[in-house]
Structure 1
């Protein structure tokens, strides 16, 4: 398994040839030893987990490691998963959050921001446009990485991954009101940095999503 888009062209949440099943059904089947059920869960959620880990760590290699660890933890901890305490996606994001933090602490070194944007210079009329886009993406990502963990993770979950306040609260184990206040503060800090750098040409959430996803 890796955080790359190996399964990007697969039908979301499906193993080829089978009807779509709910998360609960997949978990039950995986507990019973059905390999295809786990593969379906992986196809359904690995891209989002990888994107979250990549934004949290600033490293594609660390994000791949985190994604692998998350799904290994899912395999080992299926019997301990309780859907009454939260949906499967929030359960996985919570694991990804903890693993990302652990890996960053363990690294104890600066993790360089890597450029992930795929561009074809031949499709741009302005030959400088690809360079400008890469520089903009790198700077916005650097600004997000500069936020404290409590602000960075809520911004990534809500504005980049599209989780609701309730889902983010479950992942972070905090109140919805705390999610709102942290997100507001995170957006303020990011907007201030982007304004200072003359990059704020769209609402923060929209701008960040376009740059980073």
Structure 2
């Protein structure tokens, strides 16, 4: 079997079989990385296809670091995923009404309530143990799965699930006390 540099050379000459060979060799790894980036099978499949399409489009300009195509493919996967997240964020933000997009409130009372609520949430989160704060950030804010958060923190899936459940219970209790007029 030809090495990756040879396959790229042949692809530069228009050999689709060379691209197919690279695809067959690396599609599973690229898909796995794409799934970690997106958390969705459908999005990961689309991202993987985009990576190999980009490989084909840029085949004349690409220089692999070393003899393997894998580092280029994985970096490309990460960059395309980040671009997609930025694009989706912009599209979502642009769909919001202008006053929500800027965070401007028409009523001074609404600003005060929002500031008070945010301070309350920050105080509740600050009461959590540092590991629970990090789990909450990874799962609730960044959207990682329990397993991805567990891998990132070097703890078990069950620990993430249990700690996140307890952290959410604390936040719910604080929110309930706040909405009932408690301090």
- Matching of residue 30 in structure 1 with residue 11 in structure 2: yes
Larger Rg: 2
Q: 1:195 Cα deviation (Å)? A: 2.3
Higher relative helix content: 2
Match of 1:104 in 2: 85
1:45 pairs with one of 14, 21, 26: 26
Q: 1:76 Cα deviation (Å)? A: 1.2
Tell me the distance in 2 between the aligned counterparts of 1:86 and 1:144: 38
Tell me the distance in 1 between the aligned counterparts of 2:45 and 2:138: 18
Equivalent pairs counted in the alignment come to 116
CA RMSD of aligned residues (A): 3.6
Describe the SS at the equivalent of 1:78: coil
1:1-213 aligned within 5 A: 20-84=1-65, 87-108=68-89, 146=139, 187=151, 189-191=153-155, 194-197=158-161
Q: Which has the higher contact order (CA 8 A, sep 6+)?
A: 1
Match of 1:12 in 2: none
Tell me the distance in 1 between the aligned counterparts of 2:27 and 2:51: 9
Match of 1:131 in 2: none
> Residue deviations 1:84-143, cap 9 Å, x none?
46731000000000111121232337xxxxxxxxxxxxxxxxxxxxxxxxxxxxxxxx99
Tell me the distance in 1 between the aligned counterparts of 2:61 and 2:22: 16
Tell me the distance in 1 between the aligned counterparts of 2:28 and 2:15: 22
Q: 1:189 Cα deviation (Å)? A: 2.3
Tell me the distance in 1 between the aligned counterparts of 2:156 and 2:86: 27
> Residue deviations 1:5-54, cap 9 Å, x none?
xxxxxxxxxxxxxxx21111111111111111111111111111111111
- Kindly tell me: are residues 24 and 147 of structure 1, through their superposed partners in 2, closer, same or farther at Cα, counting changes over 3 Å? farther
Is residue 56–residue 145 contact of structure 1 (8 Å, CA) maintained in 2? Answer: no
Match of 2:111 in 1: none
Tell me the distance in 1 between the aligned counterparts of 2:14 and 2:158: 49
Greater Cα shift, 186-195 or 62-71: 186-195
Tell me the distance in 2 between the aligned counterparts of 1:144 and 1:49: 26
